Amino acid sequence: MKYLLGALCACAMATVYPALASAGTHESMGNVDNGRKIFLEGKGEAVPACQSCHGMDGLGNDDMGTPRLAYQVDTYILKQLKDFAADKRTDNTMGAMNDVAKALLEQDKKDVTAYVHTLKTPFMGSDLDGLRENDVEVGEAYKGEAIVKFGLPDHGVPACKSCHGFNGRSAGRMYPAIGGQRYQYIFNQLTAFRDGDRTNDFAGQMQAVAKQMTDDDIKNAAAFLTGAKPVAPGNPRAPVHM
């Protein structure tokens, strides 16, 4: 264990940390009022209300496999909408997002992103006990915590925090918040990156990570991340070596 920690510290020091997570960064991206209308009511025949699948508060839904959009980096949301529209990413879960994104004008995408950025209902993570009762296989959060902080050097899985920041709270515009995301959605995306069903990640970074992960690694990481908090207790600033 001593040996292991020594090795891990060395790799943590080699990591480049961005100054501060910019999950909250707001680019004056679009018209919040138009975005709210699309989110709550949809647009014409082709765009159903986003809230019908992502929830009024944008907190997502495990039964549907939809992600939490609230608290996500705005540039990342916009990128995903563009990628769905261009068929660079496929909605593997409900088969809905590609048509939805195609039916949104470029400006609509910015507007709905700007509205999502205003959603701030606190979220405690997926109800893991409830999922277990529904026979969903849920991993072990304590094992997932080690993956997020240190990775699994014995089979080549890097620490998630080296790209996604402390507890997966996001690290800049490219690296989405994965902490506080829905369990089912994290599970689905890791599986999709691993199996080649999602390939829209920059330079294949996420596929390379997921290909090293076993089914148990994926379940364990998802079980920790869904409840992971963006700051450490008692330290509202950026804990770097935690």
Contact residues for ligand HEC, defined by CB under 6 A: 38, 47-48, 50, 52-54, 65-67, 69, 72, 77, 79-81, 91-94, 96-97, 100, 104, 112, 147, 157-158, 160, 162-164, 174-176, 178, 186, 188-190, 200-202, 205-206, 209, 221
User: CB under 8 Å to 213, separation ≥6 — which residues?
Assistant: 157, 190, 194, 221
CB closer to ligand HEC, 98 vs 239: 98
In whole angstroms, how large is the CA radius of gyration of the chain?
Answer: 18
Residue 171 token pair:
């690290």
List the Cα angle 14/204/188 in 5-degree steps. 105
CB closer to ligand HEC, 228 vs 238: 228
Minimum distance from residue 234 beta carbon to ligand HEC (Å): 26
CB closer to ligand HEC, 157 vs 238: 157
CB closer to ligand HEC, 2 vs 142: 142
Minimum distance from residue 17 beta carbon to ligand HEC (Å): 13
Residue 232 token pair:
């450490």
Dist CA 141 CA 220 (whole Å): 6
Minimum distance from residue 241 beta carbon to ligand HEC (Å): 17
Minimum distance from residue 20 beta carbon to ligand HEC (Å): 18
CB closer to ligand HEC, 38 vs 238: 38
CB closer to ligand HEC, 66 vs 238: 66
> CA torsion sign, 160 to 162 to 168 to 170?
negative
Minimum distance from residue 183 beta carbon to ligand HEC (Å): 11
Are the CB atoms for 74 and 117 separated by under 8 Å? yes
Q: Give the residue from 174, 172, 146 showing the smallest Cα distance to 160.
A: 146
User: CB under 8 Å to 9, separation ≥6 — which residues?
Assistant: none
Minimum distance from residue 209 beta carbon to ligand HEC (Å): 4
CB closer to ligand HEC, 131 vs 163: 163
Distance of CA 147 to the CA centre of its chain: 16
Are the CB atoms for 69 and 54 separated by under 8 Å? yes
Minimum distance from residue 102 beta carbon to ligand HEC (Å): 11
Are the CB atoms for 123 and 70 separated by under 8 Å? yes
Dist CA 125 CA 232 (whole Å): 16
